[in-house]
Structure 1
Amino acid sequence: MKETLNHIDIALNTYGSRDNPTLILIHGLLGNRTSLAPLAQQLSSRYFTVTYDCRGHGQSSKPQHYTLADHAADLAALIDRFGGQAHVFGYSMGSYIAAQAAINTPQKIRRLILAVTKPKDDGNGSSIARLLQAHGLTPKTATETQIQAVLQAALWSPHTSQARRDALNAEADRRGREARIPILTAAQRHAVNQALVGFDLSGKLPDIQAPTLVIAGKYDGINPPETVRTVADLIPRSRFELFEHSGHLIHREEPEKLLQTVETFLTES
């Protein structure tokens, strides 16, 4: 389904009963609404869960220019569409969006989960752009094959076998195909990265009022644990959790632990 929010179309999926508390899950850069669908489905017995394609991604509108603030405004509008308050789970880029929304519209966020996050841009926009730059590439010039080749070492724990990586990647690709998720063009990849250039939440993270869980993957080469921990250190009502057997892809490498961790956090008094 699609909703028109802030004059653009946002593609989304919902799971569970509207009578339950709302939980919105936000994917990472170059992801889409199917990326966190397995987690959303598992949580849907107790929550009304929503996954959506961020602007510039998937089947949502793809403006030429937008910012992290635009992403956060989309999230705030989506929360309003589903009752005015929600728990929010943000993964990588999605965590920057979630944090920005928690800063801008604190009354809308009940509990906040920031997974494999960072407090600010390092000058390249996305962390993926930083890795590509080290190989002489950019999100605009690199092919999809080149991007995946550069990312593999940074995304996974070294203890995850190639066979398991291939199986998990194939499952993610299958979900994308079934949802008819289009592959982004070079210009569209450039736009999604440019939206993150220059963002800096570090000075405002102490203003976040919501109880917050910050999660890192021990072997994450995209947003390393020490970077993720700085976010937890800056948010007053936060706690830090390290996933010992994951790289950046905590939702694929340790899905059972992620589910348990999220469920426990959301039900704490």
Structure 2
Amino acid sequence: MHLAPSAKGHAPFGEYRTWFRVTGDLGSGRPALVVVHGGPGSTHDYLLNLTALAEDGVPVVHYDQIGNGGSTHLPDRGADFWTPRLFLDELDNLLAHLGVADNYVLFGQSWGGMLAVRHAARRPAGLRGLVVANSPASYPLWLREMKVLRDRLPEGVDETLRRHEAAGTTDSEEYFEAMRPFYERHVCRLKPWPRDFMASFMEVYNDPTVYSTMNGPSEFHVIGTLRDWSVVEHCADVAVPTLVLTGGHDEATPVTVRPFLDLIPDVRWEILEESSHMPHLEEPERFLEVLRGYLAGLPHQDS
């Protein structure tokens, strides 16, 4: 069960709107944990169990990035519109709208982790900490590792995937079915998939505009505008205590997170060995234990 929200609403963002959900008291004096979901083009739903942290007095903010979920959908916008800068500006706007820009921690998952690193590298004065969960430091590294993982799939699966990728028929039922062995090994190992995860999965399926434009047809076939995007060059500028989280079977392999560990000055790494890309769902107790320990160790806000 998730804790009930204390507030829901929309933050005006230029001519658009960003949907948000707050659990807990933003006026408590505790840094707000702002949850930046993955995708790009996913929704907050699969990360809702982070609301458990509000029981500890930590206010938790979820939001849907523009293009999906409860935020403004723009199915007619092209690749020139959907840029990392758009989502960085949206995050800044949300922090200001909620009045937490002077005291917050970012939790970024997958693509959201890359976005959070890019945000943190600007050294905003109110940022107290950074959690980078299941995120690669660059898409070129990610693509290199996708080949390694695909080569280990059951016989014939990668051949089927490649045939459809070459033919441009990645929207076919056969391609969708051939994706499953990869997703069940490296994205979410729970069977059946949890309802929260399915909710976000179906949101992307129902409006794939952002995901297909920026990422591509699948986790392992990145042919969108992000295929060359990297935050490696920004890691050394991150000036807050940083926790990197990965799963033992994660599609975000150790190779993909190594730049975070080598370049962020104050960083530690936790591997949840029984998980893949969703340790918050796959090992929720251990995940919350690690996250609570990290949050408790953050320096207090200057008086």
TM surpasses 0.5? yes
Counterpart residue number, 1:68? 84
1:91–1:115 contact (8 Å) kept in structure 2: yes
Counterpart residue number, 2:285? 256
Counterpart residue number, 1:107? 125
Counterpart residue number, 2:294? 265
SS at match of 2:165: coil
Is residue 55 from structure 1 mapped to residue 66 from structure 2 by the alignment?
yes
Q: Which of these two proteins has the greater Rg computed from alpha carbons? A: 2
Is residue 44 from structure 1 mapped to residue 69 from structure 2 by the alignment?
no
2:121–2:237 contact (8 Å) kept in structure 1: yes
Please point out which of 191, 195, 205 is paired with 1:165. Answer: 191
Q: Percent identity over the alignment? A: 22
1:15–1:48 contact (8 Å) kept in structure 2: yes
Counterpart residue number, 1:235? 264
Counterpart residue number, 2:238? 208
**RMSD (CA atoms):** 3.3
* Cα shift readout 1:128-151 (whole Å, capped 9, x = no counterpart): 89979756439x963496457515
Matches within 5 A, 1:66-105: 66-82=82-98, 83-84=100-101, 85-105=103-123
What is the distance in 2 between the residues matched to 1:158 and 1:195? 22
User: Which segments of 5 or more consecutive residues in structure 2 lack a partner in the other structure?
Assistant: 1-8, 151-157, 216-223
What is the distance in 2 between the residues matched to 1:159 and 1:186? 20
User: Which segments of 5 or more consecutive residues in structure 1 lack a partner in the other structure?
Assistant: none
What is the distance in 2 between the residues matched to 1:4 and 1:148? 39
Aligned positions, number: 259
Structure 1 100/147 Cα, relative in aligned 2: closer, same or farther at 3 Å? farther
Moved more, 147-156 or 195-204: 147-156
Is residue 24 from structure 1 mapped to residue 34 from structure 2 by the alignment?
yes
What is the distance in 2 between the residues matched to 1:67 and 1:128? 23
Q: TM-score, normalised by structure 1?
A: 0.82
What is the distance in 1 between the residues matched to 2:109 and 2:85? 17
Q: TM-score, normalised by structure 2?
A: 0.73
What is the distance in 2 between the residues matched to 1:242 and 1:182? 27
2:48–2:196 contact (8 Å) kept in structure 1: no
* Cα shift readout 1:99-156 (whole Å, capped 9, x = no counterpart): 111123532421000011111122999x989979756439x96349645751543454
Moved more, 244-253 or 206-215: 244-253
Moved more, 21-30 or 4-13: 4-13
What is the distance in 2 between the residues matched to 1:12 and 1:2? 6
